Amino acid sequence: MIIQSKRIWIAGQFIPAQLKVEHKKIEAIYGYGELPVQKDYGNDRIVPGFIDIHTHGAYGYDTNDGNQEKLLEWMKRIPEEGVTSILPTTVTQVPEVLLKAVSSVADVAEYEYEGAEILGIHFEGPYLDMKYKGAQPPEAIAQATISEFKKYQEAARGMIRYITLAPEHDTGFELTRYLTQNGVVVSMGHSSATYEQALMGIANGATSMTHVYNGMTPYHHRNPGLVGTAFRVRDIYGEIICDGCHSHVAALNNFFTAKGREYGIMVSDSLRAKHCPPGGSYKLGGHDIEIRENGLAYLKGTETIAGSTLNMNMGLKILVEDAMVPFDTALNSCTINPARCLRVDDRKGRVAAGYDADIVVLSDSYEVIQTYCRGKSML
């Protein structure tokens, strides 16, 4: 199959080109109009597929449910917003729930299925701080230990690739070092860590931060905290929820100004309520949440934000059009940067020969016209 457009994102710019897609890969790239094509997208933009490394669910499904049929439906439908790769994300819960959840994801990842590729599991909690737990269930927060984590990773058959933990509660940073040495990305979040504690977390192997600004010590000019660490240490990754509600658009601009083109990562942090009718009541970690008119989820009857219903293509629009983040920086945040963070940038995150044929066709209004997951048309 050969497709073409006058605007394909290659080498950090839009150029007219053709893509030859065979065997789930971009086999070759040619000049625009060089060969007969199966599909000409005209002036619509072709960009790499979006990678969401922090997403709990959508379409009424949550990763903690451990329902394989619903997980398969999620993977098949999520390309509607341009997502081609994903880390299904757990939320803090009791061990039996988490063991079932990670085992279920591992089972599905072994299937030949249609849709977004499961690159691994994001294990958010249960090794978190009580003060900055956010909507994470306090009754299930646990002490970080290597022995307990090994049980989860065994159930996941090695699929836990990314974990959120509070570094100040990892005694001697033992778990952080173990995870780093065994190929798991450590992300600091839901944490009351000071600037100094965060630096020690980084020194012992942490390479990312979870939803910067949210669930962490705020910035103060005499006590920089985790936010100050995210700004100061520019060569570690930082997730950020780009719905314009979790963080003001000016704060989004500040974050990307500090992180530059290579270390900011857009995430949805979406819940089961995404792509469901507004106004409903749902569960997160066994607790009731409600979706309000602004699209945010809250713990029922409180002002505690519990997650988002953000579509990734709209997150890109918010970054560029509202937060005034340069397009290349914004696009990197949902393509090559998460790929680098997960160490899959040898096959994901770029439109280039030899890479997986994960491609999104976008209109100028950021609507998804077509998504290809490993070369298969999904819309």
Conformational region of residue 279, where left means phi above 0, alpha means psi within -120 to 50, and beta covers everything else: left
Locate 269 and state its tokens.
Answer: 């942090």
Of the listed 62, 170, 243, 269, which one is catalytic?
A: 269
Which two tokens mark 121?
């599991």
Q: Is 320 exposed, middle or buried, given 0-12, 13-18 or 19+ CB atoms closer than 10 A?
A: middle
Its sign, for the CA torsion 146, 149, 154, 157, is negative
Contact 61, 94 (CB under 8 A): no
Cβ count within 10 A of residue 139: 10
Query: Alpha-carbon torsion 339, 189, 58, 142, what sign?
Result: positive
C-alpha 229/C-alpha 294 separation (Å) is 30
Query: Rounded to whole angstroms, how far apart are CA atoms 269 and 348?
Result: 21
Q: Determine whether 269 is an active site residue.
A: yes
Q: Which residues pair with 245 in a beta bridge?
A: none
One-character DSSP codes across 360-373: EEE-TT--EEEEEE
d(CA 314, CA 331): 12
Alpha-helix residue ranges (DSSP H) falling in 233-285: 249-259
- Burial readout 59-91 (b: 16 or more C-beta within 10 A, e: otherwise): bbbbbbbbbeebbbbbbbbbbbbbbbbbbbbbb
Q: Give the CA distances from residue 71 to residues 96, 104, 222, in Å, rounded to whole numbers and listed in that order.
A: 19, 9, 45
| Residues with a known catalytic role | 269
